[in-house]
Amino acid sequence: MLLNRFEKLRRMLMHDIGIDLGTANTLVYMRGQGVIINEPSVVAVNQKTGRVVAVGGQAKQMLGRTPAHIVAVKPLVDGVISDFEVTEEMITYLLNTAQKNNRKLLGPRVVVGVPSGITNVEIRAVRDATRNAGASEVHIVEEPMAAAIGMRLPVKDPVGSMVIDIGGGTSDIAVISLGGVVRAKNLRIAGDKLNQDIISYIRAEFKILIGEKTAENIKIAIGAVIPENAPLEASVKGRDLVTGLPREVVITDSDVREAIGQSIGALIEASREVLETTPPEVLSDIMNRGIFIAGGGALIKGLAELVESELKIPVHMATDPLTAVARGTGVILEDMEGFADVLIQSEDELPTS
């Protein structure tokens, strides 16, 4: 790429940083280096002093284990900014960590990915928080758009692409064409909901109470939305609801399938609804090119196959689905002018769904 003198100078003075502000994981992309931070979206705050004591993995370990005056919070519950100050602290921490060995004269140019259901108030909150955290320039992109760009889909062309990004708190379903989101749905059925489904099922069926982390481990180890060749099993330790004592049971992939069946069905139903309102030309593009799935939640076994057989459209899994959004912000940073149209402009901030 031919860089003009102004662009070369700008790059000398400031870093270019992309942030995927996920409900489960926050990723930071640095132009020239790739994904440099990948941490759980958790912040631990000392309530006596109001100060942040830990961020990311360190803070996640404190969840449910903190003394009374320290609270571990997820700043982005269900994809909305639940706590502005904490979000700002987290972004400050991320920008500081990203630049710690190599500060430049000016604050970075930052592209932040936000869930597609986000309101104007929240967009402004993210913008302000990122500026307050030291950014010279802040650009906002909707996560499904960033995911599509990260998967190198031709988002700017007059051809329809469909993306399903299944995260922790929310799933984004979006149809993109000509640099814009043509149809979208944002729903609160994603990885966390599947964990809750597993907790409820084991409580109802086995009378055992398990924690969220245990449920997530079960989901990842033996969760399969279509039966695998051989049955899968896992032993689970929890608290017996009758005796109050620890007890262990063995559960199978078919237990997990039953537990999460309704949520998976709702996710597919929502995708069907998006397709039903998609204009015919765009729909025919999608039928030819397929549906692209991303996000950690997409990794549950058999999902691509099930969606494909339910919607009768080929389904492709992103390579490295957990980093698609962050890599997309990186692609945008390489060509800000080319991607100007896909960004949410500050004057006319508006959600698409």
Question: Which residues, 6+ apart, have CB-to-CB distance to 91 below 8 Å?
Answer: 19, 21, 129, 130, 133
CA distances from 277 to 42, 185, 273, 282 (A): 37, 11, 7, 10
Site string for Mg ion, 115-154 (x = CB under 5 A): ----------------------------------------
296 binds ligand ADP (CB under 6 A): yes
- Contact window for ligand ADP (CB under 6 A) among 2-10, 173-181, 243-251, 290-298: 290-298
Q: Is 150 in the site for ligand ADP (CB under 6 A)?
A: no
Contact flag: residue 23 with ligand ADP (CB under 6 A): yes
Structure tokens at 236: 């689970």
Q: Cα–Cα distance between 96 and 56 in angstroms, integer?
A: 14
CA 67 to chain centre: 29
Say if strands 161-166 and 291-294 run parallel, antiparallel, or are unpaired.
Answer: parallel
According to DSSP, the residues that pair with 164 across neighbouring strands are 173, 293
Give the strand pairing for 171-177 and 161-166. antiparallel
Residue 217: closest CA among 230, 239, 232: 232
Instruction: Report the partner that residue 177 touches, choosing among Mg ion, ligand ADP, none (CB closer than 5 to 8 A by kind).
Output: none
Matching residue, tokens 């995927």:
20
168 contacts which partner out of ligand ADP, Mg ion, none, CB within 5 to 8 A by kind?
ligand ADP
Shortest Cβ 222–ligand ADP spacing (Å): 10
Indicate which single residue of 191, 238, 328, 351 sits in contact with ligand ADP (rule: CB under 6 A): 191
Binding to ligand ADP (CB under 6 A) within 198-257 occurs at 216, 219-220, 223
**Binding partner of residue 343 among Mg ion, ligand ADP, none, CB cut-off 5 to 8 Å per kind:** none
Q: How far is the CB of 227 from ligand ADP (least distance, A)?
A: 16
Alpha carbons 107 and 226: distance in angstroms, whole number: 48
Residue 260 CA to residue 254 CA, distance in Å, equals: 10
Q: Which is nearer to ligand ADP, 14 or 148 (CB)?
A: 148
Using CB under 6 A as the binding rule, whether residue 295 contacts ligand ADP is answered as yes
Closest contact distance (angstroms) between CB of 290 and Mg ion is 20
Specify the stretch interacting with Mg ion by CB under 5 A; choose among 2-10, 15-23, 232-240, 245-253: 15-23
Among 107, 167, 321, 330, binds Mg ion (CB under 5 A): 167
Q: Does 22 bind Mg ion (CB under 5 A)?
A: yes
Please tell me the distance from the alpha carbon of residue 21 to that of residue 18, in angstroms, as a whole number.
10
Of 126, 123, 124, 48, the C-alpha closest to 87 is 126
Size of the site for Mg ion (CB under 5 A): 2
Q: What are residue 81's phi and psi, to 5 degrees? A: -75, 105
Q: Which residues bind Mg ion (CB under 5 A)?
A: 22, 167
Q: Which residues bind ligand ADP (CB under 6 A)?
A: 22-25, 167-169, 191-192, 216, 219-220, 223, 295-297, 299-300, 322
